[in-house]
Amino acid sequence: MVTVPTVGLSGEYRVADLVEAATIDAPLALTGNASQAAVPLFAARQDVTDGVLLSGLYDGVHGYRVAVLGREELRRVGESLSRNDEAWLPTGTRALVLGDHLEPQPALRKAVAARRIALLRSPLPAVALVRRLQTVLLRALHGRVTVHGVFMEVTGTGVLLTGPPAIGKSELALELLNRGHRLIADDAPEFELEDDQVVRGFCPPLLRDFLEVRGLGLLNVRAMFGDTALKPSKNLRLVLDLRPLAEYIADDGDRLRGARTARTILGVDLPQITLPVAPGRNLAVLVEAAVRNHLLERSGYDAAGDFIARQSAAIENT
């Protein structure tokens, strides 16, 4: 059990943020529909007060924000639900995590759906899961999160490369290094709030200087490219999400403006662009172009808007 003092947290910290932050230390998977990812664990700065219980083994008494269930805890919950015990879930609990690859009973699925409680699973044993989730949540409460991806400085801009495993993030980072850009952190960059609207990223000490590439193993970037190929920290300005081409086509992205969304990290909305990955596509060039276009947009120029205006003028003149 961990109790924390009052700490600052900007915006909502949701189940989706926990799932992403725990990717390395405590892999989690939602068992219900996607709406569970939006369940807030910590609603706002004033919501995190003295005595908040972050995570612990479910005991039916303490209102852990994230309660972990092993086999015995899951059995007790099942018994409570069979008795229609309305007090089975303590006040304050917003997510249940089943360890040991356990499957939730149908009654549990129904009960959490009725209360808008997120239900997740993990392959880790329950006791180990509690310890690791405590670490992840404490980082978040102190305004720091770990995001799976590669954080780089491209054309002077902090860019986070994200995407599913084996999509080619590290290989892309290696190509960008060859083109003169700089690495900040591979695999597990950490981010913290500079102020309410600025997120700054840096590399954990253990990973500093290293880049892991499938087939090559660990590479020491400082030894291979020199000190100038590395940067200790950078403000995050743009997220580039790598996705298989089939996924991109299925989403039917906007051909004029591209697949643009917002990515929320520590309560700050950041622009995110989805880049489709397919054989023959030069991703390094696409990343550079995306960053340059982003810089133009920040200066006030909109290429798609410019084209639409030209087209409208041409139509009016015909």
Q: Which residue has the tokens 């499938």?
A: 214
Which among 279, 280, 288 is positioned nearest to 179, based on CA atoms?
Answer: 288
Residue 156 gets the label, from left (phi > 0), alpha (psi -120 to 50) or beta, of: left
- Sequence-separated (6 or more) residues with CB below 8 Å from residue 107: 78, 81, 82
Q: Please confirm, yes or no, whether 148 is among the known catalytic residues.
A: yes
CA distances to 17, 43, 44, 104, 303 from 38, in Å: 9, 11, 14, 20, 33
Set 17, 186, 187, 241: catalytic member:
187
Active site residue 187: yes
Name the nearest CA neighbour of 6 among 53, 54, 48.
48
Three-state helix/strand/coil letters over 15-66: HHHHHHHCCCCCCCEECCCHHHHHCEEECCHHHCCCCEECEEECCCCCCCCE
Q: Quick check: is 101 catalytic?
A: no
Could you say which of 148, 181, 231, 237 is catalytic?
Answer: 148
Catalytic residue list contains 255: yes
Which one of 169, 231, 234, 294 is the catalytic residue? 169
Q: Which residues are designated catalytic? A: 148, 169, 187, 255
